[in-house]
Amino acid sequence: MYRRLVACLLATTLLAGCDLAPHYKRPTPAVPSAFPQGPAYPATSATAADAAAIGWRSFFTDERLRQVIAQGLANNQDLQLAAAHVLQARAQYRVQRADLLPTVDAMGTASIRHSGSNGASVGSSSSGPHDTGGTTKSYAADLGISSFELDLFGRVRNLTKAAREQYFATQAAQDATRISLIAEIASAWLTLGSDQDQLALSRQTLASFQQSVDLTRAQFEKGVASELDLQQAETNLQDARYDVAQLTTQIAQDQNALNLLVGATVPPEQLPSGLGTADFTLADLPAGVSSDVLLKRPDVIEAEDQLKAQNANIGAARAAFFPTISLTAAAGSASSALSDLFTGGTWSWNASGSSALTLFDFGRNKANLRYAEASRDAAVATYRKSVQTAFREVSDALAQRGTIEEQVSARAARATAADTAAKLSEARYRNGIDSFLTTLDAQRTLYSAQQALVTTRLARQTNLVTLYGALGGGIS
């Protein structure tokens, strides 16, 4: 008898360890093992530091920008929503995990029953039948479990694992939202500063064009300049006037966009007055050469956690083909007197088990399994696409990083040359050598070159922000 009991316990232990989920193996990322190399890309070092290890407070060097980002992390509603999703997923995981253990219920009952004859009432002096009835009282208290599933085939464990991986996925999604928010706030702040530079340039150009119009009008009134010269000068003036009005609107919209990202109104002292040639981030960012760094990105981690959850769901779907075994048990005390319930009462216990196996479900379990397998395949594709997207984002940012300094240098040299050409052209016009049209073209070229330089400087700043986020930096 003892040997049979030991054998039964061992068999139950082995069955309890049964897991029908497929063995998980991380899919091979469908990207090269290294980032692209070539003329467009910067030189990288195999021993370069991990960009994700650089905290955002260290990466952004401007204190005003750091304050704005910190305010956004505290108030942004998208981040608040992501945090709420994490709490929801954690609660769902805890609910599912509770199924691994039996639920213990406490039950108490009390009943009073009176019975008696239909004869004369008790205490009557007349002859005849007497009331032979009485009152019966009973009390009972029990502790028990009801229909607790013995998870012999891992169905509940796999459902719990799937819920846990979903919880991890929402945590990774929150980290991804945080990185994206930091990059968006920084880009919006830098764009506002760049537009401030553009507005200052347009106002300066407007004043210069106004002087040109006033001088040409005076010459026209003296008969030195033609009306064509005056109207052409007026054209340049009105273009600059339009730009001032348009940029004034754009700056207001930039502030509105920044306030939305931050989740509050940014104080004026934290707004940029312009970018100029200053650096607002680390001057350089190591990227390394291995694409394995992409596996640390929160969005890639989220996709893998979702894949693990779908893999566990296959195990739960497979377990549905096997019997379910449930246990019900109770123990307690019963007494005719409430005061004796826990002292002189009658103790009792009972236990029962049940097993159920679906014989005909018209393909429901099989369809559920096929659905779980298809969901797993979709999660594999999503994971690989996430890695490919991350690879492209980093590669694009590196491609721009490799040439952006040359672009800024070229734009600066062009603006310097255009300024010199404008001054020479105006001098030649005043001396009667060139036509006024040549001077106007030189002024327009200078204005355009200066605008392009401001835009390129902004691209240089935002490129580092983009690369920092694409490499998974910005969580801490």
Q: Name the band, by pLDDT with cuts 50, 70 and 90, for residue 267.
A: very high
How far is the C-alpha of 130 from the C-alpha of 151, rounded, in Å? Answer: 61
Name the residue among 46, 71, 42 with its Cα closest to residue 189: 71
Sheet containing strand 324-335, strands side by side: 104-115, 134-150, 324-335, 346-356
Q: What is the mean pLDDT of residues 210-225?
A: 87
Residue reference for tokens 């893998």: 304
Cβ atoms within 10 Å, residue 154: 23
Q: Name the band, by pLDDT with cuts 50, 70 and 90, for residue 177.
A: very high
Q: What is the mean pLDDT of residues 459-467?
A: 94
How far is the C-alpha of 186 from the C-alpha of 461, rounded, in Å? Answer: 10
β 324-335/346-356 pair status: antiparallel
Contact between 397 and 467 under an 8 Å Cβ cutoff? The reply is yes
Classify residue 38: in a domain, yes or no.
Answer: yes
pLDDT of residue 1 exceeding 60, the answer is no
Give me the pLDDT at residue 397, please.
92
Classify residue 108: in a domain, yes or no.
Answer: no
Give me the pLDDT at residue 112, please.
83
Give me the pLDDT at residue 106, please.
82
pLDDT in tens, 285-313: 765 667 888 888 999 999 999 999 999 99
Classify residue 77: in a domain, yes or no.
Answer: yes
Q: Name the band, by pLDDT with cuts 50, 70 and 90, for residue 70.
A: very high
Classify residue 143: in a domain, yes or no.
Answer: no
How far is the C-alpha of 392 from the C-alpha of 36, rounded, in Å? Answer: 10
With 0-12 / 13-18 / 19 or more C-beta atoms within 10 angstroms meaning exposed / middle / buried, residue 396 is middle
Contact between 298 and 175 under an 8 Å Cβ cutoff? The reply is yes
pLDDT of residue 221 exceeding 70, the answer is yes
Number of domains in the chain: 1
pLDDT in tens, 348-361: 777 777 888 888 88
pLDDT in tens, 5-63: 334 434 444 445 578 899 999 998 888 888 888 888 887 644 345 777 889 999 999 99
Contact between 404 and 284 under an 8 Å Cβ cutoff? The reply is no
Higher pLDDT, 223 or 450: 450
pLDDT of residue 403 exceeding 60, the answer is yes
**CATH number of the domain where residue 60 is located:** 1.20.1600.10
pLDDT of residue 187 exceeding 90, the answer is yes
Helix, strand and coil in the chain, % to nearest 5: 65, 10, 25
Classify residue 377: in a domain, yes or no.
Answer: yes
Mean pLDDT of the chain: 85
Name the residue among 32, 6, 65, 104 with its Cα closest to residue 294: 32
Name the residue among 318, 326, 405 with its Cα closest to residue 370: 318
Q: What is the mean pLDDT of residues 236-255?
A: 96
Full residue range of the structural domain in which residue 431 is found: 21-101+152-322+362-470
Classify residue 139: in a domain, yes or no.
Answer: no
Classify residue 466: in a domain, yes or no.
Answer: yes
Contact between 58 and 418 under an 8 Å Cβ cutoff? The reply is no
Opening angle at CA 132, ends 127 and 136, nearest 5? 155
pLDDT in tens, 369-399: 999 999 999 999 999 999 999 999 999 999 9
Classify residue 118: in a domain, yes or no.
Answer: no
